[in-house]
Homo-oligomer: A and B are copies of this chain.
Amino acid sequence: MGEHRPDRPSRRTRTKTTTPGDGAPEDDASPTGTHVTLQDVARRAEVSLATASRVLNGTTQVRADLKERVLAAASELAYAPNAHAQALARASSQAIGLICHDVSDPYFAAIARGVTRAAAEHGLLVMLASTFRDPAREVDYVAMLRAQRARAILLIGSGFEDRAWERSMGAELDPYMRAGGRVAVLSRHRSLRVDTVQPENREGAAALARTLLGLGHRDFAVLTGPRTLTTVADRLGGFRDALAEAGVSLPDDRVVEESFTRDGGYAAATELIRRGLTATCVFALTDVMAIGALSAFRYHGVDVPGQVSLAGFDDIPIVRDLVPPLTTVALPLEEMGERVMNLAIREPARRSRVERFPGEVVLRATTATPARRRPG
């Protein structure tokens, strides 16, 4: 019946619980406890819920004056939409999950940087989980992320070669993916048929081996992490195979296994020394281990590269600042992080994509031609 009133009639319609005494100052701020809802905004703007929603989302054209009222109301009330309600209503969330072993490891930190950067570009929030290398915890996190209806789950870091783990991981991941969840992994392959960013560990390690061989080394030792990690298998395998091609063998007692950490590297190098270091060149499977090894060598008065050459893998940013700067196989970590993120939110392909990132051998000063004791 009514024309749209050109003038504003008394504000506040049948407000149920609006604060009485609508004095001069715009008193709205409920003192505590409850959030401002879209309903509040709509009421204050004297429009329907639907209209308020439309204005705020720009879904549909809304008459200019209404639009303005809504916007004003929203800002006056400092309205923040409830992302959970939105996620529920839209059946999709604004968050992606990132699972890695340990954020404070420079390798993961660099990748996480790439991921968060890429996520920011898409207006996504990153939920970060560190498993501290506990497979069970990894599965738990996937469950949580699944519950959060994360738009995608990113698994960063080597998978475990373990049947039980693969099974329970699959039990979480399968239903997640079946329901439309996206999964992408960095650096793992076995048993997971998902989009993958794959550093060429095997080839990189092989290339490194050849380079080291080219320097004249014939006597190697390797500092490795847990053998259940696919990365270990690949890097160690690639290295060993390339050596074998040149007729150089890598006896088992030259491979020292420790945890994939700085301290692990330190311990492994120390163990090597204890066994009576004869190798002229040591390959630490990750830069982080190499850092520890370098310190161990220094501590024990073993000159690098004078007495022994040392090489790592990953090229985390810090290694160029070491003394001597570390020879390593460079991986574009941050870029890999961006790629895995982008893979995950891209339209799913019929079959899983694999993006390979070759490693580039970068020779720095921890390696030199073998100076002593060449194997006869």
> B179 touching A33 by the CB < 8 A rule?
yes
Q: Which of A17-25, A105-113, A199-207 contacts B (4 or more CB under 8 A)?
A: A105-113
- Please, what's the 1-or-0 string for A295-338, where 1 marks a CB less than 8 Å from any CB in chain B? 10010000000000000000001101111000000000010000
Residue of B81, B98, B146 touching A147 (CB-CB under 8 A): B81
Query: How many residues of A are in contact with the other chain, CB < 8 A?
Result: 71
Given contacts A95-B148, A109-B109, A179-B34, contact A128 B126 (CB under 8 A): yes
* Cβ–Cβ < 8 Å partners of A294 in chain B: 321
> Are A147 and B83 closer than 8 Å at their CB atoms?
yes
Interface string of A129-162 (1 = CB under 8 A from B): 1101000010001011111110000000000000
Interface membership of chain A positions 149-181, coded 1 if the CB is closer than 8 angstroms to chain B and 0 otherwise: 100000000000000000000011011101110
Is A47 part of the binding interface, using a Cβ–Cβ cutoff of 8 Å?
no
The answer to whether the Cβ of A80 comes within 8 Å of any Cβ in the partner chain is: yes
A35 within 8 A of B: yes
Is B103 within 8 A of A106, CB to CB? no
Question: Chain A, 99-128, contact with B by CB distance < 8 Å: what is the 0/1 string?
Answer: 000111110011011001100100001111
For residue A94, CB closer than 8 A to chain B, the reply is: yes
Residues of chain B within 8 A of A64, CB atoms compared: none
Tell whether A292 is near chain B: CB-to-CB under 8 Å: yes
A268 to B294, CA, bound (A): 28
Among A65-73, A85-93, A229-237, A249-257, the stretch that binds chain B is A85-93
Q: Are A84 and B148 within 8 A (Cβ)? A: yes
Shortest distance from the beta carbon of A71 to any chain B beta carbon, whole Å = 15
Instruction: Report the minimal beta-carbon distance from A145 to chain B, rounded to whole angstroms.
Output: 8
Nearest-CB residue, chain B, relative to A75: B171
A39 close to B (CB within 8 Å): no
A113 contacts B102, C-beta separation under 8 Å: yes
Residues of A within 8 A of B (CB): 29-36, 78, 80-88, 93-95, 98, 102-106, 109-110, 112-113, 116-117, 120, 125-130, 132, 137, 141, 143-149, 171-172, 174-176, 178-180, 262, 291-292, 294-295, 298, 317-318, 320-323, 334
Q: Which 9 A-B pairs have the closest CB atoms?
A: A323-B323, A104-B113, A128-B128, A78-B175, A83-B147, A84-B87, A104-B109, A84-B84, A35-B179
Given A35-B149, A295-B320, A321-B322, 14 new contacts (CB under 8 A) = A29-B175, A30-B178, A34-B179, A80-B147, A81-B147, A83-B84, A83-B144, A83-B147, A84-B93, A104-B113, A125-B127, A126-B128, A127-B128, A262-B317
